Structure 1
Amino acid sequence: MRFHNLDLNLLVVLDSLLQERSVSQTAQALRLTQPAISNALSRLRQHFEDDLLVQVGRKMVPTPFAESLAAPVREALDGLRRIVVNRSEFDPAAADRTFTFVCSDYVFNVLMTGAIRKLVTVAPRLKIVVLLTSDQSAALLGEGKIDFMISPERKCDPGHPKSPLFSDRFACIAWRDNPLVGASLTLEKYLELEHVSVTLGPHNPPHIEQESLDAQGVERNIVVHAPTFNCVAEIVVGTNMIATVHARNAAILAKRLPLKVLAPPVEIATFTEFLQWHKNKETDAGTLWLRDFLIEHAQSL
């Protein structure tokens, strides 16, 4: 389809080029050949009378004019997608769609595992992709590369709608045969023992429990930083180390591993995990159905 002498398919290529900054990666993302992308870029340059992207080293850098096109092109494509995908009704039993989530392995364990088991029955043709949370999660949501983000409220993007899913508190875990840990933990013992914590990405902002402990001047002796929350429990087993973890996840992991779950000897703030979706998906029946499904499932936890 042409609009003002421009093939609208070229806007899809331009949008991807502005995100990927690479002909080869754009070709891979759109499942086209590199010559096809190069040809599309040439046509775009001719239409707009601008280079749009220029080669700098191994990457292509957008011109100022191309930068000015990025937001309106994305908004135009989002509008077209809403027209194409939006239907008055969504039939989960017949729907053949892919939904992509970003969440922590903790949320996956507590919420998504059970939700996916239910989806297999009520929406057997849906495909679910789950990515681990990172410092790029909010950007992925804003760029429309994911459908849902699940995170504590403080990490939500204020520009997009959200809904609370479930709340949680913190607990301490130790190996069941840890000779240094009894039926309860004193603050003195908590400070004396070695701890396992989590590092989420290279920037690793302070976790919720860390902020509570810092506010009270409580400093743990952290000797191991694991890459995921679930790894923490595996590391604790067979050692004299302890960890401060999400209580819901601790209860699940204690059914699989020889762990004892104890109350922390210091007050740690509770928190709530939120489900967030892109504002442009507010009228998409499939997104709204899956949103409501997850909220309902979370209420059963």
Structure 2
Amino acid sequence: MVARSTCQPRRGFCFFMSAKRPQSGLLAGRAPTVSADAYHWRMRYQRIDLNLLVALDVLLAERNVTRAAERMHITQSAMSGVLARLRDHFGDQLLVPVGRTMQLTPRAESLVEPVRDIVLRVDSALGTQPDFDPATAQRHFVVIASDYVSRVMLAEVVRRVAAMAPGLTFDIRPTSEIMLGELEQGRADFLITPAHLTAADHPQEVLFDDTYKVLACLQHPDLAGGVTVEQYRSLGHVVYQNERGINPWFEQWYANQYGSTRRVEVITHSFTLIPRFIVGTRRITTIQTRLANQFAQSLAVQIFDPPMETPRLTEVLQWHRLRETDAAVQWVREQIVAGSHAMPPI
């Protein structure tokens, strides 16, 4: 039996590890019909210790004994013992060293989805909380959102929640190419993303719309009368890309409409850093109107209308389908939606 944890629980495994079921981050709600693959694996391995099943899920995700041990709040030697038991149970090495890393065997690769599915469904069945008292609840939530969304809306929501529910904590993670997988696998409670990037299999609610403006230094020598198409194409631009080089919605739209007709001088991976590369230069940028308005309140920048029609941006909130009836998730969701409704008009 895996040693019990005395540490603060985490999602997806600690409810098996601790004597008392934790309150934080459990996928909860109605359990839909079990898929054929999940049913096959559950029946084939119905005698496996649930501690081992959850440990297997973590090992398959981390592909590293040390990191898996940290997530499960046990020692590395204890996790090595768990891996040995799993290897014996499945008759396979599961994790094998390749250079300086560990890789999954073909058998382990085949276990990733069915094991994750079973763990999520057990998590959902055991984690339902019919009653939720914000004043006394202890819960941790993972929210995936861009720094743009965090600045214009989410920071204020978290501030308001802290006053009503001081026991709630939040991990705000940046958007990335794996964000839909994080939601699907239950590693994130909420995802806030542009409408065209949502996950089809999970519920969603529209939060707010935004438009685009051109931002320039307050003392820009060439833009007293606005920005012309010629100026827009000739001036240097600051643009956002994520760490994988993927452009946001406006950049994708502009490339499709006009091709490479701008001179990009600076690429940054943070929306909130963009004005730092604008002030004191002749560069310009095209950013969300709500963000531009905030920057103009505290920085030496000025706002112009773009010299062309621009698309409208819609930000959407998503949560896991298995968490529809989780009272804590419902309450936090209501606070996020209320925060979006309280935003000033554009």
Is there any run of 5+ residues in structure 1 with no aligned partner, and where? none
Deviation per residue, 1:28-66 (Å, 9 max, x gap): 221211111111122222233333333333333333333
Q: Would you say the 8 A contact 2:148–2:271 is kept in 1?
A: yes
Q: Give yes or no for the alignment of 1:149 onto 2:194.
A: no
Cα-to-partner distance string for 1:276-295 (whole Å, 9 max, x where unaligned): 12222223221122112211
Who is 1:64 aligned against? 106
Q: Which residue of 2 aligns with 1:279?
A: 321
- Equivalent position of 2:34 in the other structure: none
Q: How does 1:85-164 map to 2 (within 5 A)?
A: 85-164=127-206
The CA distance in 2 between the partners of 1:171 and 1:200, in whole Å, is 20
Q: Which amino acid aligns with 1:209?
A: F
For 2:251, which of 206, 210, 215 is the aligned residue?
210
Count matched residues: 300
- 2:285 corresponds to 1:243: yes
Residues 154, 45 of structure 1: alpha-carbon distance in 2 compared, 3 angstrom cutoff: same
Q: How does 1:1-301 map to 2 (within 5 A)?
A: 5-204=47-246, 206-217=247-258, 219-301=261-343
**Identical columns (%):** 36
d(CA) in 1 for partners of 2:187 and 2:252? 31
Q: 1:83-130: CA deviations, max 9, x gaps?
A: 332111221111111111111111110111110111111111100111
Higher mean C-alpha displacement, 243-252 vs 70-79: 70-79
Q: 1:216 to 1:61 in 2, by over 3 A?
A: closer
Q: Distance in 2 between matches of 1:130 and 1:4?
A: 36
8 A Cα contact 2:120 2:185, kept in partner: no
Question: What is the letter of the counterpart of residue 211 of structure 1?
Answer: Q
| Counterparts of 1:215 and 1:117, CA distance in 2 | 39
Q: Distance in 2 between matches of 1:48 and 1:215?
A: 50
Unaligned runs of 5+ in 2: 2-15, 17-44
More divergent stretch after superposition (239-248 vs 133-142) = 133-142
Task: Classify the secondary structure of the residue corresponding to 2:224.
Answer: coil
Cα distance in structure 2, aligned partners of 1:138 and 1:5: 32
Shift of 1:76: 2.0
> Aligned in 2, Cα 1:183/1:79: closer, same or farther, shift over 3 Å?
same
Q: Judging by fraction of residues, say which structure has more strand.
A: 1
Offset of 1:5 from its aligned partner?
4.3
Q: Which amino acid aligns with 1:296?
A: A
